[in-house]
A and B are shown apart, each in its own frame.
Chain A
């Protein structure tokens, strides 16, 4: 079964009197349990593609399928419900709600998901331990390092075991050691829970962790490498 399938995606932005093809006839299929890096220079269309896959933005033409469900024609409400239950997002930075502690940031999403109160706290504590933040649960984002904040964001994204995690340059603000730690966490989740990862990055180190590396340029897929075979 495929976790993600994109068929002939196009998305054009107008900047001044120029048309910019952020996605130019993109076809892509990612199977369950995939660990994919999207690599492209800045402006290559990574974010646009991730947003289309996550239902945050609609392509001009083409189809997006998530777990055999076509999502590009869904309503806003259906998309929100889909993201809440099946997709975890991690962004570059400033991911967290500043007035909530690490644990509360995670519990907030679980409450929106409608999980019972008693369960929420336990799950939040467990996931914080899993991402290596045991003992920091009461810290606010401002009291944590960038790496710790990203770990909280990851914990929040995966706490309800989504099938798919989309990460948009998750290591862009991290030093190399912290980046390695975060990637090790992703790899671990991918191996132990079969979570599918799609990670947009232009960080060479991150690409090294991927099972599959997709290179984009000006909205087109220019290279698709199976790194496991290598």
Chain B
């Protein structure tokens, strides 16, 4: 074998105490497998959280007038929205694109009035970009783009003391600032499970919205759902290319539209990684302990080779190489075991007591299918590996202060 002697020496040193080495590797495998599993679940959850949130209403991207996102002014519009939406659908070969408008309005029943956000939505395409049409539990979603119909959330219906078939009066101001008013029949009541939606949102057909709020074929945004969240980056420039420069429109991705989502995830990541960090540190200390022992018991031997002219630096590298070998075994085996466990649960589904509760709060399914990705497979193990190497730096550096004569005086 042409493996150089130093690697061979390192390898054999690793197996001088097989049980000790296996214990160290075992600790690494355990924590690596745990990390792979936890991180896979966690990232899977985030994916679901993002998906579910965006699926509800926001979509992956929206075309808007610049500035509209932040102050929602009625006159910041996308002109000829239906035409543009049609163009995007055919050019991008995507179905799930729909124009939408919104206005603040006072909704009044016979008994009460509430201020809500009224959305004008395209009855044909809205179901492709939002789950709300599918969540109508009583009645139906409008089908006629010009019908004087309205759909409201179940909390709002309860507050207004209305049911399907009742009429609501809508008061607000139009695109030009003029007074806007209409009467609409409640044709459906939705139950999204999201308290904000159920309490303060109403949807009316886009054509009807245009008439009431004097939109003149304009809308406020065009909602786009890409084939996958990961395809957003690819589609975004294509969308931008299809916009006419004269309109000065912009494309916001989900991140810009829902800044809170990423922040919530980041906060969760930092708290989770604090825990993972502690795990990595525990492993690192056990590695440090093992390598210190292994260096100490070889003091005499190190003294001999140092007196032959082998520098402490080279012996330090030997110790690091040995640690690297142990840590690599831990990484490979840990990622393998963790990956297999995760794959198993990805197939069988995973849930733990109390998860149903949590899942319900976040509008997530109660049985969860974690997915292994390169990131979730190696993120944790790479940190454990790096932590192990770092922790071996101390025993390796200590050799710098070993005096060959003293070392040789120490017994084997």
Q: Do A and B bind each other?
A: yes
Enumerate chain A interface residues (CB-CB to B < 8 A). Answer: 51, 54, 56-57, 76-77, 80-85, 87, 89, 91, 94-100, 104, 107-109, 111-113, 117, 156-157
Check A97 against B301 for contact (C-beta < 8 Å): yes
Check B8 against A104 for contact (C-beta < 8 Å): yes
What are the residues of chain B within 8 A of A95 when measuring CB–CB? 304
A54–chain B nearest beta-carbon distance, Å = 7
> Does B295 interact with chain A (Cβ within 8 Å)?
no
What are the residues of chain A within 8 A of B375 when measuring CB–CB? none
Give the top 7 A-B pairs by smallest Cβ distance, nearest first. Answer: A84-B309, A83-B309, A99-B12, A80-B311, A108-B5, A80-B309, A57-B405
Assuming A80-B311, A89-B308, is B301 touching A100 (CB within 8 A)? no
Check A94 against B309 for contact (C-beta < 8 Å): no
Residue in A closest to B313 when the chains form the complex, CB atoms: A77
CA distance A135 to B316 in the complex (A): 33
Check B408 against A91 for contact (C-beta < 8 Å): yes
Check B311 against A85 for contact (C-beta < 8 Å): no
Check B4 against A83 for contact (C-beta < 8 Å): no
> Does B20 interact with chain A (Cβ within 8 Å)?
no
Check B307 against A89 for contact (C-beta < 8 Å): yes
> Does B87 interact with chain A (Cβ within 8 Å)?
no
> Does B256 interact with chain A (Cβ within 8 Å)?
no
Interface size class of B (residues with CB under 8 A): 20 to 34
Enumerate chain B interface residues (CB-CB to A < 8 A). Answer: 2, 4-6, 8-9, 12-13, 16, 300-301, 304-311, 314, 403-405, 408, 412
CA distance A117 to B309 in the complex (A): 19
CA distance A89 to B303 in the complex (A): 12
Of the residues B5, B300, B309, B403, contact of A111 by C-beta under 8 Å? B5
Check B310 against A107 for contact (C-beta < 8 Å): no
B70–chain A nearest beta-carbon distance, Å = 64
What are the residues of chain B within 8 A of A54 when measuring CB–CB? 307
Residue in A closest to B409 when the chains form the complex, CB atoms: A47
What are the residues of chain A within 8 A of B314 when measuring CB–CB? 112
Check B6 against A111 for contact (C-beta < 8 Å): yes
Residue in B closest to A156 when the chains form the complex, CB atoms: B308
CA distance A77 to B5 in the complex (A): 22
Check A112 against B310 for contact (C-beta < 8 Å): yes
Check A97 against B308 for contact (C-beta < 8 Å): no
What are the residues of chain B within 8 A of A99 when measuring CB–CB? 9, 12-13, 16
CA distance A112 to B9 in the complex (A): 13
Check B9 against A108 for contact (C-beta < 8 Å): yes
Residue in A closest to B314 when the chains form the complex, CB atoms: A112
10 sampled A-B residue pairs with Cβ under 8 A: A80-B306, A80-B310, A83-B307, A84-B309, A91-B304, A97-B305, A100-B5, A100-B9, A117-B2, A157-B308
CA distance A118 to B4 in the complex (A): 11
What are the residues of chain B within 8 A of A89 when measuring CB–CB? 307-308
A218–chain B nearest beta-carbon distance, Å = 20
